Structure 1
Amino acid sequence: MDIKNFPKVTIILRGYNYNQTETVINALIGSSINSVEITMNTKGSIDMISDFHRKYGDRIHIGAGTVTNLENVKRAVNAGAEFILSPVLLSREIINFCKENSVITIPGAMSPTEIYKSFEDGADIVKVFPAVECGSKFFKDVKAPLGELPLMAVGGINKENSREFLSNGADFLGIGSGVFNKEDILNENMAGLMNSLNEFEEKIGLEGVKNEW
């Protein structure tokens, strides 16, 4: 996967079972959001990444989240993950392995030093986490001295503040519970999921928006 094709918004799915996760994926098909992160601390995550990549890989980008070690990276990449996200810094060994396999790396960072180090180590995108604690202005403030680096806001992002973060220097968003009602996912309520998705798309206005990387 090339960073130029990396979606603006990725939906983070943590702790949901196979059918619940698949229902969310089906809700996203045809929308302006075509990226899903399945966290590695979700039961059956590797099987889900493999199956959903095979079934929906031509329409939805499937990645692995909460990845912290090389063993899990290899398992996720072998299952078909197109990108890897972590709440912490990633080693150069992990980043190099992903580059060799054309997999996007998105380590987590919270300080300018961590952000700078991640890009020095070869990361494709850096995830500022938890973004809501840093505030939307943090992104422009960091870019002022460090330059136009591709940053993702994750942690506390929702339909009410998404546009604010994008307008203040965040290039990408990772959103967990900020789009859908949890009960709709648990109950596989497609109508409720579609309603929430439509509200989010109207609020954030992603239609036709492309990243510049």
Structure 2
Amino acid sequence: MENNFPKVTIILRGYNYEQVKTVMDVLKGKHDHYALEITLNSPDVLTTINKISKEYGNNFYIGAGTVLSLEDATNAIDAGAQFILSPIKLSKEILEMCKQKNILSIPGAMTPTEVMELKMNGADIIKIFPANTVGKKFFNDIQAPLGKLPLMAVGGVTLDNTVSFFENGADYVGIASGIFNKEDVLTQNIKGLKESLLLFENKVFK
């Protein structure tokens, strides 16, 4: 399942449905490159996830971020999230529920011990957070003894360092303010959003 998961997850934190919808419209046709994470600490978030997943879920992976508990995970999945992300190491119970419901799980880790525990507990992708704190070399360094792992760099990922995370052993990145200008999302500035996306793509996918 994670094999066809896009390399870049765009993280939208604190935006309403209309603002998220504008970003989705800008991403039209780019589902091979991007997944979308809507964080649970956003306004009326379960309604937003529900609407966006109904409108775009056939083409895009639409997920929930900042999942911290079994209740969070259950609510997000019931709303239509196809994957869940967390800044923390999710419990085995949550990871098993995701497996049963065919939901991709991306829990957070910061140490080799946490990474290995999550792998053994069935995490699909392991989010290294905060990635910029541990540094790019961390990704290759932990895979030397532990073997190839599906790792996502999140936290401090920007236009300028995305490629170097990939070059250093990360399979995926999650990017928030590093791709779109917050003001453009808030004001639904399609021209500005398209320009930012083009800049990112020219740097990362060319």
Following superposition, the deviation at residue 33 of structure 1 comes to 3.2
Segments of 5+ residues of structure 2 without an aligned counterpart are none
SS of corresponding position for 1:29: coil
Moved segments of 4+, more than 3 Å: none
One-letter amino acid of the structure 2 residue matched with residue 20 of structure 1: Q
Identity of aligned residues (%): 52
CA distance in 2, matches of 1:148, 1:51: 36
Segments of 5+ residues of structure 1 without an aligned counterpart are 207-213
Moved more, 25-34 or 108-117: 25-34
Counterpart of 1:93? 93
Residues 34 and 59 in structure 1, CA contact (< 8 A), matched pair in contact too = no
CA distance in 1, matches of 2:80, 2:17: 16
Residues 1:158 and 2:158 aligned together:
yes
- 1:86-125 matches, cutoff 5 A: 86-125=86-125
Residues 25 and 60 in structure 1, CA contact (< 8 A), matched pair in contact too = no
SS of corresponding position for 1:35: strand
TM-score by length of 2: 0.97
Following superposition, the deviation at residue 25 of structure 1 comes to 1.0
Counterpart of 2:130? 130
- 1:3-22 matches, cutoff 5 A: 3-22=2-21
TM-score by length of 1: 0.94
Counterpart of 1:210? none
One-letter amino acid of the structure 2 residue matched with residue 56 of structure 1: Y
Residues matched between the structures, number:
205
Higher relative contact order (CA 8 A, sep 6+): 1
Following superposition, the deviation at residue 34 of structure 1 comes to 3.0
RMSD, matched Cα: 1.0
CA distance in 2, matches of 1:146, 1:160: 28
Residues 29 and 60 in structure 1, CA contact (< 8 A), matched pair in contact too = no
CA distance in 1, matches of 2:177, 2:64: 17
SS of corresponding position for 2:122: coil
Call closer, same or farther: CA 1:58–1:34 in 2, change over 3 Å: farther
Following superposition, the deviation at residue 37 of structure 1 comes to 0.3
SS of corresponding position for 2:114: helix
